[in-house]
Amino acid sequence: MIPMRPTELAHRIVREVLCEGAHAVDATAGNGHDTCVLAEAVGASGRVTAFDVQQAAIDATRHRLASAGLLDRVDLVCDSHLHIARRVAAGNVSAVMFNLGYLPGGDHSLITRAADTDAAIVAACGLLCRGGVITVVCYPGHPGGGEEAASVAERMRVLTGDGWRIGSQTPVGTRRPSPVLWFAKRADAG
């Protein structure tokens, strides 16, 4: 069996915790692929809040959602993932997805940054309900990506000490640094 790409595994992980009526956050909407997965998973009575700092990403996500008939389930926010706690109520989110780096097809000099991403992951932890999950796909192969991936790895190590269940997946045998998926599941009870 060939292992899944990190993004595919992230989709599988969030689908396991999302159900009809749930609330999810796409912290980095990009071209809308993750946003669509979340919108399908939360169903007609659920809600997704999708963030991206670039208007081009918000527009691409809006188009993808409209084409899939899912736009009415999603609130699109043109703002940094750094500000998710300002727009989303704490304690009622079942999943938060991060897909870091740059906007595919966009300006590759506009990237997510380690310090902002770390703060956004901390904020996302405060949004999750019991049993909720955070997924973070890092891309260490572009300028700034290695620093960000190292920062995410350190944040996950810290969360492990706080009782979170943490996992990661890194494809092997690639020519350049492979994307890395980190996932963190909040305890079901505590």
Give me the chain's average pLDDT, please. Answer: 94
Nearest to 149 by CA among 130, 176, 188, 125: 176
139 backbone dihedrals φ, ψ, rounded to 5°: -125, 90
The stretch 148-152 carries a mean pLDDT of: 97
pLDDT of residue 42: 98
Higher pLDDT, 162 or 75: 75
The stretch 11-36 carries a mean pLDDT of: 98
pLDDT of residue 177: 86
What whole-number percentage of the chain has pLDDT above 90? Answer: 83
DSSP 188: S
* pLDDT tens digit sequence for 34-74: 999 999 999 999 999 999 999 999 999 999 999 999 999 99
* pLDDT tens digit sequence for 103-144: 999 888 899 999 999 999 999 999 999 999 999 999 999 999
pLDDT of residue 175: 67
Amino acid at 189: A
128 backbone dihedrals φ, ψ, rounded to 5°: -70, 140
Nearest to 25 by CA among 80, 98, 91, 79: 98
At residue 145 the predicted structure's pLDDT band, cuts being 50, 70 and 90, is: very high
Domains observed in the chain? 6-185 (3.40.50.150)
What whole-number percentage of the chain has pLDDT above 70? Answer: 96
| Residue pair 15/41 in contact by the 8 Å Cβ criterion | yes
